[in-house]
Amino acid sequence: MPDFKEFNSNLLPYNPNDVDIRRQTFSIEMVVEMMKLEEIELWRPNDFQRLSGLWTLKEKSRLIESLLMNIPLPIFYMDGSRRPWKIIDGLQRLTVLNEFINKNSFSLSDLQYQKDIEGCHFEDLSFALQRTIRNFFIEAYVINPGTPDDVKFNIFQRINTSGLRLNAQELRNAYYSGISADFIVSLVELPAFQSTIGMDISPKRMKDREFVLRFFAFYIGLESYSAPMDRFLDECMEQIECYDKEERQDIYGRFNRSLETCFRLFEDNAFFILSKNGSRLTNRPNIALFEAWTANLAQRDTFVHANLIRNRESLILKYLEYFHIPEFYRAITSTTTSKSSVDLRFAMISDLIDIST
């Protein structure tokens, strides 16, 4: 006899009974009106520009052609628990509808069958074709109000099935849009960040935003860190909204000062793994070094920063020795997310700062 095992709900991070989702039918007319009124949240243009593989004009056009051919679209997922609604899955499809109907921003091209309407914007189509598109119905699963936030974000992570799969940072940026995402962007756009390592990090897939979030997370929560890293960053991204404007401005200033100090200490080699003579051993900045230096320095006052710069030469000599300590090297390369590695690299950088001031 086979040994049948039952599903153990006690191992889940939340009670399955907290998942409250309804299936709902919408007309395209209703959906595009909600987007027009900003009752459904679309990502901002600068967020899209950071993603690779966005739909081509051909793909956009054939989505519209599918509506005219009455071909059902895959089901959408939305978070309807608060206004504006967030799109969990179907972001690109809804963006195409918004661009074509509300913004009239592209004309149809490279259609498979309906060649006679190629070159037409939405407003160029006959009333009958416009009505066909507007009256088309889509199906969506919508998260109901009252669903706990941790449940919603877990659903958001799991229902990530689009052709362009979002990575962890893109998911955070989409789900925690608004104050949290805007604050991270403001740190990325700091001239000090761009001049220090911003040019060495591709903005595609939001890797630069992950660097900045790692600073913020360890600045506010080093003592509470536990693996996995992604969960820690998720929680810290959510906490940004708990800080008032003055507190965020203080963190902004501390981050900027930390970057400026790092540049004055290491110039173009800040946050890179270095050889004995101080030259780069890698062509990409090291995120573990970045978070350890910036978060540690952000905890210090201007007096400490000034003394570090004054004692720059002796600090660098001691720092270069770190890269030949096996435990430190592992903590910034192969075991970066374990709690022991996080604690070790932060403690060693902190000690270096203290003995250099």
Closest CA relative to residue 133, chosen from 119, 145, 148, 123: 123
**pLDDT in the model for residue 49:** 42
* Spatial distance between the Cα atoms of 277 and 259, rounded to a whole number of angstroms: 23
Q: What is the dihedral of CA 67, 73, 75, 76, to 10 degrees?
A: -50
Distance separating alpha carbons of residues 60 and 92, to the nearest angstrom: 9
| Residue found under tokens 């360890």 | 218
20-62 confidence digits (pLDDT tens):
889 999 999 999 999 999 999 886 545 544 444 468 999 999 9
Left, alpha or beta for 239 (phi > 0: left; psi -120 to 50: alpha)?
alpha
Cα(first)–Cα(last) distance of the chain, in Å? 71
131 Cβ neighbours under 8 A, 6+ residues apart: none
d(CA 244, CA 232): 21
How many C-beta neighbours within 10 Å does residue 92 have?
21
From 223, 300, 199, 225, select the one nearest 255 (Cα to Cα): 300
Per-residue pLDDT tens over the stretch 267-284? 989 999 999 998 999 889
The per-residue pLDDT string of the chain (357 residues; one tens digit each, 9 = 90 and over) reads 556 555 555 666 666 777 788 999 999 999 999 999 999 988 654 554 444 446 899 999 999 999 999 999 999 988 898 888 988 888 889 999 999 999 999 999 999 999 999 999 999 999 999 999 999 999 999 999 888 877 777 777 777 655 556 788 888 877 777 889 899 999 999 999 998 887 788 777 889 999 999 999 999 999 999 999 998 999 999 899 899 999 999 999 999 999 999 999 999 899 999 999 989 998 899 999 999 999 999 999 999 999 999 999 999 999 999 999 999 999 999 999 999 999 999 999 999 999 998
What's the pTM?
0.71
- Reference 141, options 15, 20, 14, 18; nearest CA is 20
Edge-to-edge strands of the sheet including 76-79? 21-27, 137-143, 76-79, 85-89, 40-41
Q: At what angle do helices 245-266 and 179-188 cross, to 10 degrees?
A: 20
